[in-house]
């Protein structure tokens, strides 16, 4: 081949492996349950994460109110810097990404400071985003940085990614979820063991599932925070907590659970967003769910989300909704995204960037008042005296409420009359409430009212 003496093979040059980019340097605020979980999983899976990211991901500095935990981390990584002021960490030139896991309203200043200093931000603070998300998203765009928050909704379950990326080619029509692990644990125990609310709550607190002050969880506020973030990504609605109708668990009774079970249902605290002809439904409240439905089978502290889209149809996501390592899984997914993206070393933005809180151009009509939302209803009549069933049905028909199914349930106490269970056709919520009040006034019975979500074609499309 090289007969011509003037030609000779090129000298052999050993192939060089491409140099790995510098590590993504993370500054962590908060070493509580989630912060400690992130540290632990990142240390355990460090090589795997670096291989998948194309670069190392390292926590290089920590600001915390629990210095003992931070000191333990520093013993494992002597180069770790400890700071006592989150704002100093937000301005630290040796940090590429601020990881905010302390929670609370003060985090707004830390996030804004970090974005202004050219740092990306990852947070699990759903209350912060529900209340100040628009301001923070605009700041991220202004500074060409990313505000990521997969861990703010449903713990380990990647629902934000699913809506923004996996279902990006779909028109989302509706979503419904069990989004609060504390409430779901309480309802599971009330349903399975016949406990009243107070006893189930005390058990949840003893096991560490509920805070000493459980209000955010059991009153539905935590689920409402998460619903605003899901609705922003699915429908383009700006996060607005006051647009969500919110009811909690405190009023539920064991008899409600028994009545639901008798009719083939389970009671869940549902967070629902649905696109309708009259407007957007945004609501959090207890509701009956068919016992065989995937949402009904979520027990304990599990979370789950049902999404209905025009092309994909129904998709269901479920998993651990809380806890240090499950939430760390979602945090690390955001960090890996940042490490992979070439914009980490420069500005991130432009018309092709994934919008922080959905596309406002997709925003549907204004939220629909709860009184106009149509659902089926369970009316449970607890008679103070004997009453006439036919009279009850006539009164409801006169009010415009059609009863599709009726049954007699057990009495609330020994010697009391049995309860009457009435399952209605879909009816506006305000009309159902008025009918229940009038029925109570005319019959002397106590009327318990619960909404029913069958997720059927007429109700959930």
Cα–Cα distance, 254 to 250 (Å, whole number): 12
Quick one: pLDDT at residue 290?
A: 97
On whether both 71 and 192 belong to a single domain, the answer is: no
Domain holding 341: CATH number? 3.40.50.720
Q: Is residue 433 part of a domain?
A: yes
Q: Which helix (H) or strand (E) holds 302?
A: strand 302-309
Q: What percent of the chain has pLDDT over 70?
A: 90
On whether both 312 and 338 belong to a single domain, the answer is: no
Region class of 352: left (phi > 0), else alpha (psi between -120 and 50), else beta: alpha
Report the chain's mean pLDDT, rounded to a whole number: 90
On whether both 107 and 217 belong to a single domain, the answer is: no
On whether both 385 and 426 belong to a single domain, the answer is: yes
On whether both 174 and 39 belong to a single domain, the answer is: no
Note if 126 is an active site residue. no
Q: Is residue 3 part of a domain?
A: no
Q: Is residue 459 part of a domain?
A: no
pLDDT digits (tens, 9 = 90+) for 323-369: 899 999 999 999 999 999 865 544 444 444 678 988 876 656 678 99
Quick one: pLDDT at residue 346?
A: 47
pLDDT value at 461 more than 50: no
Q: Is residue 458 part of a domain?
A: no
Mean pLDDT over residues 143-158, rounded?
95
Cα–Cα distance, 25 to 27 (Å, whole number): 7
Q: Is residue 36 part of a domain?
A: yes
Residue 208, C-beta contacts closer than 8 angstroms, at least 6 positions apart: none
Quick one: pLDDT at residue 69?
A: 81
On whether both 33 and 80 belong to a single domain, the answer is: yes
Pair 237, 280: CB distance under 8 Å: yes
On whether both 333 and 310 belong to a single domain, the answer is: no
Catalytic, out of 161, 226, 268, 385:
226
- CA 75 to chain CA centroid, Å, is 35
Query: What confidence tier does 276 reach under pLDDT thresholds 50, 70, 90?
Result: confident
Tokens read off for 176? 């419904």
Cα–Cα nearest to 108, from 143, 91, 133, 82: 133
Would you say the C-alpha torsion 235, 236, 239, 240 has a positive or negative sign? Answer: negative
On whether both 304 and 419 belong to a single domain, the answer is: no
On whether both 353 and 422 belong to a single domain, the answer is: no
Q: Which residue has the higher pLDDT, 250 or 323?
A: 250
Quick one: pLDDT at residue 362?
A: 60
Residue 129 lies in domain: 24-155+325-359
Quick one: pLDDT at residue 442?
A: 87
Cα–Cα distance, 147 to 173 (Å, whole number): 26
Cα–Cα distance, 424 to 154 (Å, whole number): 32
Cα–Cα nearest to 97, from 331, 272, 326, 291: 331
Q: Is residue 1 part of a domain?
A: no
Pair 86, 102: CB distance under 8 Å: yes
Quick one: pLDDT at residue 458?
A: 44
Domain holding 170: CATH number? 3.30.360.10
Q: What percent of the chain has pLDDT over 90?
A: 75
Query: For the ranges 100-114, 208-222, 253-267, 414-428, which has the lowest average pLDDT?
Result: 414-428
On whether both 308 and 173 belong to a single domain, the answer is: yes
Give the torsion through C-alpha atoms of 323, 325, 327, 331, to 10 deg: 160
Total domains present in the chain:
3
How far is the CA of 119 from the CAs of 36, 126, 143, 155, in angstroms? 22, 20, 9, 24
Q: Is residue 257 part of a domain?
A: yes
On whether both 315 and 190 belong to a single domain, the answer is: yes
On whether both 331 and 287 belong to a single domain, the answer is: no
Quick one: pLDDT at residue 57?
A: 97
Phi, psi of 244 (to 5 degrees): -100, 130
How far is the CA of 258 from the CAs of 182, 292, 395, 400, 420, in angstroms? 21, 16, 26, 27, 13
Mean pLDDT over residues 166-192, rounded?
96
Quick one: pLDDT at residue 9?
A: 61
Q: Is residue 32 part of a domain?
A: yes
């Amino acid at each position: 081949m090289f007969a011509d003496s003037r030609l000779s093979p090129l000298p052999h040059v050993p192939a060089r492996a491409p140099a790995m980019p510098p590590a993504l340097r993370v500054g962590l605020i908060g070493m509580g349950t989630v912060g400690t979980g992130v540290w632990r999983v990142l240390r355990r899976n460090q090589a795997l994460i670096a291989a998948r990211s194309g670069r190392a991901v390292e926590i290089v500095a920590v600001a915390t109110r629990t210095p003992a935990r931070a000191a333990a981390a520093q013993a494992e990584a002597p180069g770790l810097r400890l700071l006592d002021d989150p704002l100093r960490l937000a301005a630290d030139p040796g940090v590429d990404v601020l990881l905010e896991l302390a929670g609370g309203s003060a985090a707004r200043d830390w996030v804004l400071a970090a974005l202004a200093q050219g740092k990306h931000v990852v947070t699990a603070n759903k209350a912060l985003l529900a209340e100040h998300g628009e301001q923070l998203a605009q700041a991220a765009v202004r500074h060409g940085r990313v505000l990521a928050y997969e861990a703010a909704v449903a713990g380990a379950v990647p629902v934000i990614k699913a809506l923004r990326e996996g279902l990006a080619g779909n028109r989302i029509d509706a979503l419904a979820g069990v989004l609060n692990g504390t409430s779901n644990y309480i309802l599971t125990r009330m349903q399975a063991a016949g406990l009243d609310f107070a006893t189930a709550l005390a058990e949840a607190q003893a096991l560490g599932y509920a805070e000493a002050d459980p209000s955010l969880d059991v009153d539905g506020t935590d689920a409402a925070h998460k619903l605003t973030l899901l609705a922003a990504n699915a429908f383009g609605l700006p996060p607005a907590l006051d647009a969500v109708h919110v009811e909690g668990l405190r009023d539920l009774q064991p008899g409600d659970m028994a009545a639901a079970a008798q009719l083939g249902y389970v009671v869940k605290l549902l967070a629902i967003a649905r696109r309708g002809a009259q407007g957007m439904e945004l609501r959090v409240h207890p509701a009956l769910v068919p016992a065989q439905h995937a949402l009904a089978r979520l027990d304990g502290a599990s979370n789950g989300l049902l999404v209905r889209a025009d092309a994909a149809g129904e998709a269901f996501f479920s998993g651990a909704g809380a806890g240090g390592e499950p939430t760390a899984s979602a945090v690390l997914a955001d960090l890996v995204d940042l490490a992979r993206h070439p914009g980490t070393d420069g500005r991130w933005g432009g018309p092709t960037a994934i919008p922080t809180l959905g596309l406002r151009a997709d925003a549907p009509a204004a939220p629909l008042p709860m009184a106009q939302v149509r659902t089926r209803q369970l009316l449970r009549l607890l008679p103070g005296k004997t009453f006439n069933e036919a009279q009850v049905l006539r009164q409801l028909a006169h009010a415009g409420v059609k009863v599709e199914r009726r049954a007699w349930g057990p009495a609330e106490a020994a010697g009391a009359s049995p309860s009457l269970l009435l399952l209605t056709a879909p009816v506006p919520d305000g009309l159902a409430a008025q009918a229940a009040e009038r029925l109570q006034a005319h019959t002397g019975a106590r009327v318990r009212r619960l909404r029913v979500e069958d997720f059927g074609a007429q109700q959930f499309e």
